[in-house]
Structure 1
Amino acid sequence: MRWVRSHAIELGINPNMIAAGGGSAGGQLAIAAAVLKDFDEEGESTSVSPRPDALALFNPAFDNGPNGVGYDRVKSYWKQFSPLHNLNENVPPTIVFLGTKDKLIPVETAQLFKYKMEQNGSRCDLFLYEGQIHGFFNRNKKINRYHETLSELDKFLVSLGYLPPSNKG
């Protein structure tokens, strides 16, 4: 994120309009860039912010606490590592997509994330897809919501001014 922001001009992007997103562990990385403080790479300049300006999270592993995903891998430092446990008032506007039958990310965790975000004054749009499993939005699934989730993501990005409004009725 710091590299992208520091090279924004040559990349032709606005350094104040950088969105990050991902699915599952990729979603964890995106939200981690926004909220975690203890994981700067050695020798990395901290004068450039790694915080994205918007987040798009698809079934994100944002709870790495004792009841969350991957706890066994981070149990000695989970309090510093788990995005759900490090939310603050500076989290960028966020959209979350989750299937109600996801076996890795409980609906309750997503609802708690949304609640904590809103308690901190941050925007969190949560979309729950009834009966859908982990990765339901991927194009290669037999039953997927790929176009539906991308449409909602587009609306979110339009609302933030990242995309122009559609001319379609």
Structure 2
Amino acid sequence: MVQLEPSGPGLKAPKPKYGHLSEIDPDFAPLKEEADKNFAALWSLPLDEFKAAWLTAPVALPNNAPQPGQEYSVVDQEAPVRDGSRIGLRVYKPLDPPTNAVLVLKAHGGGWVVGSHEVEEVENRFLAAQGSAVVVSVDYRMAPAYKYPYAINDCFDVLKWCKSHAFKLGIDPEKIIVAGGSAGGNIAAVLAQKARDEGVSGLVGQILNIPVTCHPKLFPSDKYEYGSYQQNKDSTVVDAPRMDWFWHQYLPNADAEVYASPLLAKDLSNLPPALIQVAGMDPLRDEGLAYAEALKAAGVPVTLKIYKGLPHGFYMFPQLKQSQEYWDSCVQFVQQVAQ
């Protein structure tokens, strides 16, 4: 476990650049107590039950969520990966898809440990129904049984499989957006780097929502402001100690692997344009902002959206107006880069 510094008035004082972003949003404030109670109960479960609970939890759908069979179609299938295993995919398509549609390759969130396609079900529906994209969500293998780099390799192999099956999927193999939230945002950022490094063509964008970009033990705090791990260490949904736990399941020795901590990459040039969305009351806030800053410094176009006073995974509260803004931003980004 990463050792958190002792708390105290001085240590918890807001940092000058981003500290104000932790001031709780007034629309979320009345939801916080119940949310904290529900997530505390979830976190109290043994690992097997914890994983199962994420698989069986109902999706919180907004009233305007696109409906299957009416606004998009969805099918489940499989794709092979390098060790001979077959990985589950969920494919969302517009009902009237354009010829050679853009592909959004989605890695779901869940700390590389829990979750499924349903974690970002709402976003996937909007991307297919309103973004006219073919969305392929990857059921990559998860820790602790499958530690780093299984999630990366599974998703990268599916990326290459999608390119080779472009006709069947109805996609343009040279018009691909890698996307994900939280740990999925980490995977998407790594896929963009790995595709560049290995000469895999076709990536035109990356959607990095509330992303994990660096192990907290390795964060270059001499280069970027890093106060959110302390300031938001008790935050709703995922707090700092629980994020440490996720890291320990995935990368127990905190190795300085660039494909685990993409912020550590020495070269971020020649990567596709990025949408980065960050929550202000999230322990991961400052690493998302640091990655945006690093990409911009490397000449990569970045669209940055910051949601002040909201916790990690706030889109799970569809009654918040910012949740719709979050989904709309993904759709708009896809539409822009797909032109």
Contact 1:33 / 1:51 at 8 angstroms: preserved in 2?
A: no
Q: Percent identity?
A: 23
Matched, 1:57 2:57: no
Equivalent residue for 1:147?
324
Contact 1:95 / 1:156 at 8 angstroms: preserved in 2?
A: yes
Which deviations, in whole Å up to 9, do the C-alpha atoms of 1:69-106 show, x marking residues without a partner?
62763523434521111252121111011110012x03
Contact 1:36 / 1:83 at 8 angstroms: preserved in 2?
A: no
Matched, 1:81 2:239: no
Report 1 or 2 for greater relative contact order, CA contacts < 8 Å, sequence distance ≥ 6.
2
In 1, the alpha carbon distance for the partners of 2:277 and 2:207 equals: 8
Matched, 1:66 2:245: no
In 2, the alpha carbon distance for the partners of 1:11 and 1:80 equals: 28
Contact 1:64 / 1:74 at 8 angstroms: preserved in 2?
A: no
Equivalent residue for 1:94?
274
Contact 2:174 / 2:202 at 8 angstroms: preserved in 1?
A: no
Equivalent residue for 1:19?
177
Q: How high is the TM-score relative to the length of structure 1?
A: 0.76
Q: Aligned letter for 1:152? A: S
Matched, 1:136 2:294: no
Which residue among 291, 297, 301 is the counterpart of 1:113?
Answer: 291
Stretches of structure 2 lacking an aligned partner (at least 5 in a row): 1-158, 220-242
In 1, the alpha carbon distance for the partners of 2:253 and 2:166 equals: 33
Q: Which has the larger Rg?
A: 2
Q: How many residues align?
A: 151
Q: Aligned letter for 1:146? A: S
Alpha-carbon shift at residue 50 of structure 1 (Å): 7.3
In 2, the alpha carbon distance for the partners of 1:155 and 1:74 equals: 39
* Structure with greater proportional strand content: 2
Which deviations, in whole Å up to 9, do the C-alpha atoms of 1:112-143 show, x marking residues without a partner?
211211111101111110100000123x4554
Q: Aligned in 2, Cα 1:146/1:80: closer, same or farther, shift over 3 Å?
A: closer
Q: How high is the TM-score relative to the length of structure 2?
A: 0.40
In 2, the alpha carbon distance for the partners of 1:51 and 1:17 equals: 5
| Partner SS, residue 16 of structure 1 | strand
Q: Aligned letter for 2:299? A: G
Q: Aligned in 2, Cα 1:51/1:136: closer, same or farther, shift over 3 Å?
A: farther
Equivalent residue for 2:21?
none
Equivalent residue for 2:224?
none
Contact 2:186 / 2:262 at 8 angstroms: preserved in 1?
A: yes
Coordinate RMSD, CA, aligned: 2.7
